[in-house]
Amino acid sequence: MTFLTSVTRNLGAALRESGQALERLGVRLQGQYAYEETLNRHRRVSPFADKYPQIEKGTFVAPNATVLGDVSISSDASVWYGAVIRGDVNHVKIGPSASIQDRAVIHVAKIGGDFPTLIGARAVVEPGAIVHAATLKDGAFVGAGAKVLDGAVVGEEAMVAAGALVTPGTKIPDGQLWSGSPAKFERDLSAQEKKDMRAAAEKIVLLAKKHQAEAEKPFDVVRAERIVREAEEERHQDYVSKIGYSQ
């Protein structure tokens, strides 16, 4: 290690420690107001080795979600709170208007075969579900807490019921409902059910845009809006008391 490198590393360490000390001091000085800060420094999008996530404009990635490595996400897709998408040993591709909901886990595999994870347009992965090295075709639906494992394929507008286990290599045909552990064919989905699934996917896109707008607000805007809401509530209560209305 050269003298210059040593000095640079030591200086960097000193600056980092100073920054951490100032952060702790600032929080103590703020007291209870420290908890008003709604934004955080969580690193939502991270590279892995030489692969960096490619996220198209209009995609919502929640402040505490994690997207890592060889991941591509198309426009109007959404990655919700606490979700993890990890493209380390293979790649993940997520189509337009797809949604990866709260605490869902998307991963890939290389052992036992070449298994990326491919998620089609308008596909929905509900909260707590796991999609591991599998394929979800356009409009597919994976219910809350379900698991879809290596090499499995969920067909177009097919549904995996909440809590179901789709075992490795399983192929679910288009438009079918599978449930149980291991998951088995239940019945064909009706035309109305498929229509409802498409409508639900569209509603998620609109809701994600609202969450994205909220997540992008600076702290001073968030606080100002809260002050306005509190003032309006105070005026409302004052008005109610004057007219003698009681709930």
CATH of the domain at 85: 2.160.10.10
Is residue 20 a part of any domain in this protein?
A: no
Q: Given this model, what pLDDT does residue 90 score? A: 95
Asked if residue 189 belongs to a domain, the reply is yes
- Does the residue 147 lie in any domain? yes
Higher pLDDT pick, 216 / 105? 105
The answer to whether position 96 is within a domain reads yes
**114 token code pair:** 């070449």
Give, rounded to a whole angstrom, the gap between the first and last alpha carbons of the chain: 74
Question: Mean of the pLDDT values across residues 5-24?
Answer: 76
Report the domain count for the chain: 1
Question: Residue 234 falls within a domain, yes or no?
Answer: no
Taking CA atoms, 225 is separated from 28, 41, 213, 217, in Å, by 25, 22, 14, 10
Residue range(s) defining the domain that contains residue 187: 45-197
> Has residue 240 been placed in a domain?
no
User: Would you say residue 224 lies in a domain?
Assistant: no
Residue 7 lies in a domain: no
Angle at 203 (CA atoms; ends 197, 207), nearest 5 degrees: 145
Read off the pLDDT of residues 43-101 as tens digits, 9 standing for 90 and up. Answer: 789 999 889 999 999 999 999 999 999 999 999 999 999 999 999 999 999 999 999 99
